[in-house]
Amino acid sequence: MEWTTCIRTAIEYMEEHLEDSISAQDVADRVNISPFFLQRGFSVMTGYGIGEYLRNRRLYQAALDLRDTDDRVIDIAVRYGYESQESFAKAFSRFHGATPSQVRAGAAVNVFLPLRIDINIQGGNQMDYKIAPMFPFKVIGFEKVFENETAQTEIPKFWDEICEKYANNIYAGNEPANPYEKAIVDNCIGEYGVCIDDIGEDRFRYLVAGRYTGGEVPEGMTLYEFPRGDWAVFNCIGPNPQTLQSVNNRIFSEWLPGNPDYELSGNATVEWYDCVNGEMTDPDYHSAIWIPVRKK
């Protein structure tokens, strides 16, 4: 499905099911795309996560129901997915700045109408990228599961945790002191950040990883194999994380909507970091984003 059509269809599906129990996984299934890709692209193009959009739309509709009907507050709460009147009142008041009873009495509400997607493509095919066929390859790394809506702030903390626990001894120039430090050295762990969308429930696996060269896999570490396929490789020159985030936004707001030849494929992406030359904060630091694609 063409990318802008995908986002529009996702919005239509959510609007049709505001009173139903649906998740980002259900929305992704409707448009036949990985929830990870859909969440990322939806956020870039609209400024909202899927869960946030559903929550805001339901709370606005709940306010209209309070004004336009005599339905009990608990019935409205249940209609829009809240298990108790208390949890509904708390979320409602936080969103609207007024309680359900105050809105029923005529207090102002926070208007949140259905989104419309209008794309103004600028230079979508002028980005610094190439299509690279790749043979199957394995990565090894430290794994953690993240929620889609909080991953952007939590993943950097995971990197800091891994560095603090396993890498400082190596960075100090010492020989590896345990199997984990040896794995880091042997496989250049830290060269890749890998997102794998294969567990559902609005969550995904993330690996601080390197290309697996063979040998022992220490207990608790993860191996993952990418199948053979085509990848869109986007070069990023500049300090991170700003440069990667900027290029990622352009991929979903410009390159995908404007690309006549390729669409997303697979369920995993790779961030590549130059582990040899320069520091991540350097103005000419080199990194890249790899995204699996297929011909339309």
Cβ contact 141:189 at 8 Å: yes
Percent of the chain at pLDDT > 90 equals 61
Question: What mean pLDDT do residues 7-23 have?
Answer: 94
pLDDT above 60 (res 15): yes
Question: What mean pLDDT do residues 82-96 have?
Answer: 96
In this structure, the answer to whether residues 163 and 233 fall within a common structural domain is yes
Q: How far is CA 270 from CA 3, 85, 153, 194, 280, in A?
A: 20, 43, 18, 5, 17
How many structural domains compose the chain?
2
73: in domain: yes
113: in domain: no
What pLDDT shows up at residue 1? Answer: 67
In this structure, the answer to whether residues 207 and 281 fall within a common structural domain is yes
In this structure, the answer to whether residues 167 and 274 fall within a common structural domain is yes
pLDDT tens for 107-165 read 999 999 998 876 544 443 457 789 999 999 999 999 999 988 788 889 989 999 998 88
In this structure, the answer to whether residues 46 and 138 fall within a common structural domain is no
In this structure, the answer to whether residues 83 and 176 fall within a common structural domain is no
> pTM for the complete prediction?
0.79
What does DSSP say about strands 268-273 and 192-196: parallel, antiparallel, or unpaired? antiparallel
Instruction: Please count the other Cβ atoms lying within 10 Å of the Cβ belonging to residue 87.
Output: 12
pLDDT tens for 223-252 read 999 999 999 999 999 998 888 888 988 898
157: in domain: yes
Q: Which residues contact 258 (CB under 8 A, 6 or more apart)?
A: 121, 124, 125
In this structure, the answer to whether residues 237 and 165 fall within a common structural domain is yes
Among 104, 139, 164, where does a domain finish? Answer: 104
Question: Residue 159 has which token pair?
Answer: 């990197």
CATH of the domain at 12: 1.10.10.60
In this structure, the answer to whether residues 56 and 94 fall within a common structural domain is yes
In this structure, the answer to whether residues 135 and 214 fall within a common structural domain is yes
CATH of the domain at 279: 3.20.80.10
Q: Which one is predicted more confidently, 125 or 103?
A: 103
Residue 42 domain boundaries: 3-104
111: in domain: no
118: in domain: no
84: in domain: yes
What pLDDT shows up at residue 108? Answer: 93
Question: What mean pLDDT do residues 53-70 have?
Answer: 96
What pLDDT shows up at residue 69? Answer: 95
